[in-house]
Structure 1
Amino acid sequence: MGLKIYKSGQGYHTRLWTGISIFALVATGCYVLYGQLAQAGILVQTLVPMAICVAFAGGLFWLLNNRKVADFLISAEGEIKKVSWSSRREIVSSTMVVISVVIIMMILLFLADFVFRYVLDQVFNIY
């Protein structure tokens, strides 16, 4: 397969952002490993995380150009393009409904807690 990109014109954004996201996680892990290897000497501290990053980058390139994975990501991007996204107005109104329900539930739970605490205090003198 070499360095040839499988179906290079298809699923570009999905493969790109999947690769960037996974590599960002690996690079963060390598940075933490770099800090953990401070006692091992500068050569080991630098080369081990760098080798892991390079190995994961190569593996990630291979994975994202693997026939099955690439076809899945291409079809996922195709399905996302078919989605009918909500308008800004619908999102704002739905968000307001959710926030209102959360506030109402918070008030009801506070009142229930207050009543139970009062009853327990009166019956058992706990508080």
Structure 2
Amino acid sequence: MIVRNINSLCGTDREVNSDNWSSTRLLLKDDGMGFSFHQTIVHPGTETKIWYKNHLEAVYCVEGSGEIEEDDGTKHNISPGTIYALDKHDKHTLRAFSELKMICVFNPPLLGPETHDSQGVYPLLTEFENVSK
């Protein structure tokens, strides 16, 4: 059984930060669950272009407001209780109107240090040494 409290992960390698967001990775590949599970805080007033070409992701909003814009221009409001699933590796833009608290699940699971590249893609890592490649 795995039991963790998110507060115990602050300041560890399971907390990953970028200019637009901060992600605490509660479950990762090495936990052996077949998916990774994160709490991501998206900073207010930010816009993040994302394309998970290597992963499927489901995102559930628990706090805040924003929108997701599909590559074709279709926009969807994001508020508490909204879930969106990137079941086709969808390119999209996430805008946070206020601080967004999101719960995210990735398949395949992340190893932990992943951040978006210039295309908004998380690399498909097989080991930590690949982060700098």
TM-score range, shorter chain: under 0.3
* TM-score (ref. length: structure 1): 0.22
Q: Which has the higher strand share?
A: 2
Computing the radius of gyration from Cα coordinates, the structure with the larger value is: 1
